[in-house]
Amino acid sequence: MGGAERDLIRILPSLNELFSVTMATIQPSPELVEVCATNEIGLITPESDWEVPRDALSTILDSGRDSASRAWGSCNGLEDAMTSAMALHLVSGDGSLPILDHVPPGLRVHLHLLEPHRGLYEDVLHRRVDGSPRRNLTLTNAALSRARSRDKALIMDLMSREGSAVSGNSNFIAKRAMEVYGIKAGVLWPCVDVQEFPEDRSGDPENPYPGSGDYVVTVGKASFVKGTWETISMLSGSGLSLAQVGGGDSESIELLRSHAESIGVDFWSAPRLSSPELVSLMRGARAVVSMAHKESFGLTPIESFSVGTPALYVDEGGFRETIEDGKNGRLIGRTDIEGWHNALLQSSDQRIRDEWAARGRERISQLDLGPEAHARRIREILSG
C-alpha cells in the first residue's frame, strides 16, 4: 500500500469514535475491508474494483476520470449515504475527485489534498525509472491540456460549494495548491500510530530481509518520482544493500536489478509487506532513506522516528516539515554523495541513533501526529 492508504486506514477507528463513519472507495484493499469490519464501519464499493488506465491514449483522453465517475455512480448505497451525511471527507488520489460528479447539493466537502495530480502538472511521472522520458515531454505536456482543464474544473466545482474546504497534507502542498489551482488551503498533517510502529521490539516478527550484512530501506513503488534509481547510485561504494518496499512494474524492477549489479549494490524488492513486517525490516536497517522528488509529506520519516531507525532524506518537499537536519535525522542535497555517505556512517553510531530516535519521537509529540489528534482536526475543520 502507499502511504496515503496506510494513513487513511489508521485514522478510521479514531474518526469513527467522533462520527458515525461510512467509508466509500472504488479501490478497496484487504486491510481496509478488515479495519472497517473490525470497527463496524459501513463500506461502500462498486461491484467491480476500478483500475487506473495506464496506457498513453487513456492518459491523453483523460478516460480515467470518466471511468472513475462511472465507478462511483455504480456504488450501491452511496447516494443514500451522502444524502444523510453531515459532510464528506474526501482524500485525493487516483479516481477520487470524480466522486464530486455525484455529491448532492448542500453536502459540505472537505478535500484532503495529498498533492495536485503530478502527471498533469509535472514531468516526473512521464519518465522511466532511470529518468529517461517515456515520450517527448513537450508533446506530452501539450496533449494533457484537456485533462488539466478538467482537473481544475473539479477543484473549482468543489470550491464553489458552500462550506467547502481544502487542506494540504503539508505546508509544501498548501503552497502547491496556490501555485496550481490558485486556492488557499489549510494544512492537515498525516499521522503515525506508535502502536503500529512501536519503540518496543519484543513483538516484532522475523525480519523479512533475506540478505546478510547491513542494508538501508526505501519505501515507495519503484519509479523515477520515488528516486529509486538515484538511491541505488548513491549507495555505490558504501558497502550497503538496498531493500525496496513497494515493488513496481517488471520492466522497472529489472532495470534496477541490472543497474545495482553493474555498480556492486545488492538489491532486494518486496512488493508488499504487512505493517509488522515493515517495522521489523526498518528496525534492522542501518537507515531508512529516500531520494523522492518533492515528496508531499512523507510518512516514512515519522515511522522511522517511531521505531528508532535513522531517517536520511533528500532536502526537498515535505520532508523538511518533520526532519530537523542533524537533530533527528538528516536532510541531504540530492547530488551531495559525500554527504549521503557521511550520514550513512553517522547512522552506524549507536549514540547518534539513540539521540535521533529520542528527538524524532519528540517531534511526533510536538506536531501531535497521532490518529486521535488527526481525527480531532478533521472534526474541527468540518465544524468550522
Residues 150, 54 within the same domain: yes
pLDDT > 90: percent of the chain: 93
| pLDDT for res 261 | 98
Residues 347, 226 within the same domain: yes
Domains in the chain: how many in total? Answer: 2
Residues 71, 180 within the same domain: yes
Residues 222, 97 within the same domain: no
- Shortest CA distance to 183 belongs to which of 138, 214, 152? 152
260 lies in a domain? yes
d(CA 315, CA 125): 20
This model's pTM is above 0.85: yes
**Per-residue model confidence as pLDDT tens digits over 242-261:** 999 999 999 999 999 999 99
What mean pLDDT is reported for the chain?
Answer: 95
Question: How many residues make up the chain in this entry?
Answer: 384
Residues 158, 260 within the same domain: no
**Per-residue model confidence as pLDDT tens digits over 293-322:** 999 999 999 999 999 999 999 999 999 999
Statement: residue 202 has pLDDT above 70: yes
Strand order in the sheet with 311-314: 267-270, 241-245, 215-219, 287-290, 311-314, 330-332
Residues 11, 26 within the same domain: yes
d(CA 357, CA 370): 17
pLDDT > 70: percent of the chain: 100
Residues 222, 78 within the same domain: no
201 lies in a domain? no
Statement: residue 1 has pLDDT above 70: no
Q: Do 75 and 30 form a contact (C-beta atoms < 8 A)?
A: no
200 lies in a domain? no
71 lies in a domain? yes
Residues 169, 318 within the same domain: no
Q: What is the CATH number of the domain that holds 333?
A: 3.40.50.2000
Residues 144, 11 within the same domain: yes
Which distant-in-sequence residues (6+ apart) come within 8 Å of 187 by Cβ?
A: 167, 168, 169, 170, 171, 173, 174
Mean pLDDT of all residues in 110-115:
96
- For residue 82, CA distances in Å to 39, 79, 107, 192, 318 come to 20, 5, 7, 29, 33
202 lies in a domain? no
Q: Please give the residue range of the domain that contains residue 225.
A: 215-367
Cα torsion angle, 100, 169, 176, 1, sign: negative
Helices and strands of the chain, counted as H and E runs: 16, 12
Mean pLDDT of all residues in 197-221:
96
Residues 304, 350 within the same domain: yes
Residues 245, 341 within the same domain: yes
Which distant-in-sequence residues (6+ apart) come within 8 Å of 96 by Cβ?
A: 68, 90
**Per-residue model confidence as pLDDT tens digits over 61-105:** 788 899 999 999 999 999 999 999 999 999 999 999 999 999 999
267 lies in a domain? yes
| R_g of the chain, CA atoms, integer Å | 21
Residues 272, 348 within the same domain: yes
- Shortest CA distance to 2 belongs to which of 256, 301, 247? 247
Mean pLDDT of all residues in 161-170:
95
242 lies in a domain? yes
d(CA 116, CA 90): 14
| pLDDT for res 56 | 78
206 lies in a domain? no
Q: What is the CATH number of the domain that holds 130?
A: 3.40.50
